Amino acid sequence: MAVYFGTDGIRGVANNSLTHDIAFKCGNALTIVKENPKVVICKDTRISGDVILSAMSVGIMCGGGKVVNCGILPTAGLAYITKLYNADFGVVISASHNPFEYNGIKIFSSEGIKLTEEQEEYIENLFNKINLKTGREIGSLDCDNNAEEIYLNHLLGTVKSDLKGLRVVLDCACGASYKVAPAVFKKLNCTVIEKHTDIINGTINDNCGSLYPETLINEVLSNKADIGFAFDGDSDRVIACDEKGNLVDGDKLIYVLAKHMQKQGRLKGNTVVGTSHTNMGIEKSLNNNGIKLLRADIGDKYVRELMDIKSCVLGGEQSGHIIISDIGTTGDGILSALQVCSVLKESGKSISELNDCFVYPQVNININVKDKFVVINNEHLQNIVEESREELGKDGRVMVRASGTEPKIRVMAECKDKKMAKDIADKIAAIVKDISDGKYLSE
């Protein structure tokens, strides 16, 4: 089992649980997997980005690899560049939606797709087998100043019509989308109200972006915008806000896109992929439109894996990771936002009209814990969860899982009765806190 790799690469507090030594070993391991690899690499706007990127690059070069540094670039942009450049690997230095003190390492295959768990574990097992070249066999580094423009042109190419007339708010989270997102929407003739594009202080995701939608709602309403989008730090996820100030999460965006793609004849098998977190109401709304939902484990790489197995072209998560595989290889917040705007333009309808699905009341609680593995494996907690599932029956769901990127336990409860969902989620959250504090320890 991998120690460093979680649900979305390696993640940790920079210079604490994620050190330059780990970054070096990870980079060097790639040169054992593939001799003299070509590796494209980028970062988001975190202050620690240069440290982790440099250490990773040194590890690659020491093992004879060639590094192409693309600078600040959204994760999906790096995935696109990896495939376009025929690189052996793509690496993104980012902790995505996590607070700015965190950082992370995401690795992509030559096809611009995130590595599987098995591939990540294989790489991790090579961390202590250092590969050091000498003389002319030592690798090199090039800086690429064209990657952002190439990615921007790719985004433009996914939109078939002018978006003139749309007023759009963009919250860029002081992150990797700070330049390219406003630029592409402006090139498509939208009126753009841009927020949180200041990257000077490195305070990415600090009370802004997809996890803090209050600013987005206020800006949409005050500017009488047609729609607003909030990205996370590396722009691989997006949430929206409709013209009335209502949030439109990833589940609802997938519903809107699925119906439109079905009409276009693009929705293979009339099937989309969600996750175990996808709202039951979304599933029923899709079914009412003749669309089937398949559920993958939480994590966009698991969504992508199931999409490949079932030959689906649309999938994603409630958190806003959306993959449209006939125009992108991984979750892409900017691309997804552009496609939603295309639906608005082509349909002549507002986002609130298009989002006519119904959702079950869903309560989500995140609890900080001392040891998430001790908590999630606790027998008392498992018994309480099973009792709660029996109480809800077929018209509700309970899910308790350990975060793959933070020391947290995530609790979700949903059913038709909002109070009942809240009561069950609160009960389980209280048990989680007690276990973390030393109560109900399994023998």
Strands 238-242 and 292-296: unpaired
175 with 297, same domain: the answer is yes
Quick check: is 441 in a domain? Answer: no
Domain that holds residue 81: 5-147
In this predicted structure, what is the pLDDT of residue 443? Answer: 47
What domain count does the chain have?
3
Given this model, what pLDDT does residue 442 score? 53
- Split the chain (443 residues) into runs of 10 and give each run's mean pLDDT: 86 96 98 98 97 98 98 98 98 96 97 95 96 97 97 97 96 98 98 96 92 95 98 97 97 98 96 95 96 94 95 97 97 98 97 94 92 92 92 88 87 92 94 89 56
Residues designated as active site: 96
Q: Are 182 and 212 in the same domain?
A: yes
Residues 396 and 329 in one domain: no
Domain CATH number, residue 10: 3.40.120.10
CB 398 within 8 A of CB 424: yes
List the CATH number of the domain containing 427: 3.30.310.50
Q: Which of 96, 9, 3, 10 is nearest to 46 (CA)?
A: 96
Q: Which of 354, 384, 409 is the last residue of a domain?
A: 354
User: What is the pLDDT, as a whole number, of residue 202?
Assistant: 82
- Of the candidates 57, 52, 9, 55, which has an alpha carbon nearest to the alpha carbon of residue 31? 57
394, 292: one domain: no
Classify residue 443: in a domain, yes or no. no
Residues 221 and 346 in one domain: yes
Alpha carbon distance 83, 87 (integer Å): 6
Could you tell me which of 284, 280, 328, 281 has the C-alpha nearest to residue 303?
Answer: 328
207 and 337 together in one domain? yes
Does 377 reside within a domain?
A: yes
